Structure 1
Amino acid sequence: MNSDLLNGKVVLVTGASSGIGAAAARVFAREGAAVVLAARREERLAALVEELTAKGAEARYAVCDVTDPGDAARAVRTAVTAYGRLDGAFNNAGVGGDRTPLHLMSDDVYDTVMDVNVRGVWNCLRHEIAAMLPHGGGAIVNNSSVAGLVAIPAAAPYVAAKHAVIGLTRAAADEYARQGVRVNAVAPGTTRSEITEDWFRRNPGLERTVNAMTPQNRTAEPEEIAAAAAWLLSDRCPFLTGTVLPVDGGFVNQ
């Protein structure tokens, strides 16, 4: 481990078993953090912790379904028990749902997308903030999306959920600023992950079409989103709270 952006900090990452979450675990550990990884897939978490500790990092994991408040509490408690405090959290766990017109969308898809993407962040925020307050504060980053800033077609529940994540971010930032807790969000554009790779495989030409809508004309790598989150969690931006940082190759700037 050879950097110090997060040196000495204890950081929780949800949705850490793949994609942006797994990339964040690696980036945060490389930047000097002790990481606590939370997700539902224990085998992947265990393998990632083994990988990180083999490189000299401090890492633990907690099996966690963020829609369960008890699981969210246990993930935070894992960090506090192991390291004595919680300095930062990246609330990354989320699902995309179906790409279906609104009038054809099922109630089950709506419920799942809202439950994971909104209630999951809500559950985590409550327990993370409670753990940070006795130690003078901390920093939290919620993973929204460009869909939290603009509409995208055939994804109404996802758009609604990611707008709600931004609302929670701003509300929490305002409420806890004087108590030393900073709360920000990242809004990724199209980012390479298991979900996006599956979309691209099932829809030949989709990646080219999506990239053409982005000024940088490419798909982001998950490490690029993780790097932005690491900066927001660090002490390099102490006066930054309640903001939403697009990491989207210029998509929402058009």
Structure 2
Amino acid sequence: MNDYQAPADLLKGKVILITGAGDGIGAQAARTYAKHGATCILLGRTVSKLEAVYDEIVNAGSVGNAEPAPEPAIVPLDLKGATPSHYQQMTQTIIDQFGKLDGVLHNASVLGHL
């Protein structure tokens, strides 16, 4: 089990929403999912951070060195202040642009004082 290597196209054709995708675990997950063929919907509060992850995914090139990685999408949204209307709009955008959602990594968090 320790030497498992995921196939390069493991997530090909999958659409995955990643909250907290601007940095840390969310950004790394998005890069990894894209590397394995997923279309990543990058959700977070800070547009500039989401754009940086977007650029990294696009610039990384290809899935398994064979074909271009799917273009990610950016959804700037602060979950803490989001209203039902924001969620309805996001849902409609996902339906209109992707037609489906195969998975969600809910990674967004705010770390208070330690």
TM-score by length of 1: 0.36
Using CA pairs under 8 Å that are at least 6 residues apart, name the structure with larger relative contact order, 1 or 2. 2
Q: Relative to structure 1, is the Cα distance of residues 76 and 91 closer, same or farther in structure 2, using a 3 angstrom cutoff?
A: farther
User: Is 2:36 the partner of 1:31?
Assistant: yes
Which residue, 52, 65, 69 being the options, matches 1:57?
A: 69
Runs of 4+ in 1 over 4 A off after TM superposition: none
> Shift of residue 10 of structure 1?
0.4
| Partners of 1:63 and 1:75 within 8 A in 2 | no
Say what the alpha-carbon RMSD is for the aligned residues.
1.8
SS of the residue 2:79 aligns to:
coil
Aligned length: 98
SS state at 1:47 partner: helix
Q: Deviations over 1:69-90 (max 9, x none)?
A: 3434444433322211111111
What is the SS of the residue equivalent to 1:98? coil
Matches within 5 A, 1:160-179: none
Q: Does structure 2 retain, via aligned residues, the 8 Å contact 1:15–1:92?
A: yes
The percentage of aligned residue pairs carrying the same residue is 37
Task: Give the match for residue 104 of structure 2.
Answer: 89
Q: Which runs of 5+ in 1 are unaligned?
A: 100-254
Give the structure with higher Rg (CA): 1
**Corresponding residue SS for 2:93:** helix
Structure holding more helix per residue: 1
Structure 2: give runs of 5+ residues left out of the alignment: 1-6, 62-67
Residue 93 (structure 2) pairs with residue 78 (structure 1): yes
For the pair 1:5 / 2:2, whether they are aligned, the reply is: no
Cα distance change of structure 1 residues 97 and 16 upon mapping to structure 2, 3 Å threshold: same
Tell me, what secondary structure is at the counterpart of 1:3? coil
1:31 deviates by 1.2
1:19 matched residue in structure 2: 24
Deviation at 1:34, TM superposition (A): 0.5
Q: Secondary structure at the match of 2:108?
A: coil
SS at match of 2:28: helix
Residues 31, 56 of structure 2: 8 Å contact kept: no
Instruction: Kindly state the Cα deviation for residue 43 of structure 1 after the two structures are TM-superposed.
Output: 1.0
* Cα distance, 1:20 vs structure 2: 0.3
